[in-house]
Structure 1
Amino acid sequence: MDMDRYPTELRVLAVDDDRSGLRLLKQQLHLCNYNNVTTVTDAAAAWDMLRERKGRDDQFDLVISDIFMVDGGIDGLKLLEHVSLEMDIPVISKPLLKLCYCFQSSDSYESSNHEK
């Protein structure tokens, strides 16, 4: 895979209350040469960080967030709503990301079965 086509200098904010899932996501991003990844375990802390950095040179370029979080005062859906209304930052929700992995795995499985 050609890593030159990915904008690896992006500042990514990864949000999930599942610490092991967050660690795995960060590892996967590092494998794709995304080395500027900040992790947060609740939506309220993520929102505070996003507002604090808005308009600064170190503002985040991408948010990857679980939507099924309830700790910290706001849930993941509310975080996505705030970001979409108040910031110009793309957001990837983790259930969508998991769905993409499922389709990719399913396609790979079907391809390997058709080759036999």
Structure 2
Amino acid sequence: MHEYSLVRSLLRQVETIVSDEGGGVVEEVRIEVGAFSGVDITLLELAFADEASRHLGYQPRLQTTAVPLEVECQRCRSRSVIEDFEFRCSECGHQQVIIVSGEEVRLMEIEIRELNNAS
């Protein structure tokens, strides 16, 4: 399951950002997961629950947004969403297309609650 290594990398990014922002408690992590990324969202969520407790010591929320597989035709330049993984242009039927989105796993936003520094 490469979801665990992906989550560990994601949490390292989160920890770096929180540190750069002066600390705080991560309340929510928002990510995008492409349909053609090879990532199983259910396994990713399980790995996040497991690893977040270990790395952060608590459990922030994870919000995932699925990104559809989108291609651009090299002949007519139209863009279309591929749902059945049949790589052809939905406009002209040409098979020479390039992927423009849907392969990525991207950290989009982190919601951080500042710690009170009351003396």
- TM-score range, shorter-chain basis? under 0.3
Q: Could you state the TM-score of these two structures normalised by the residue count of structure 1? A: 0.28
Structure (1 or 2) with the larger CA radius of gyration: 2
Higher relative contact order (CA 8 A, sep 6+): 2
After TM superposition, the score normalised by the length of structure 2 is: 0.27
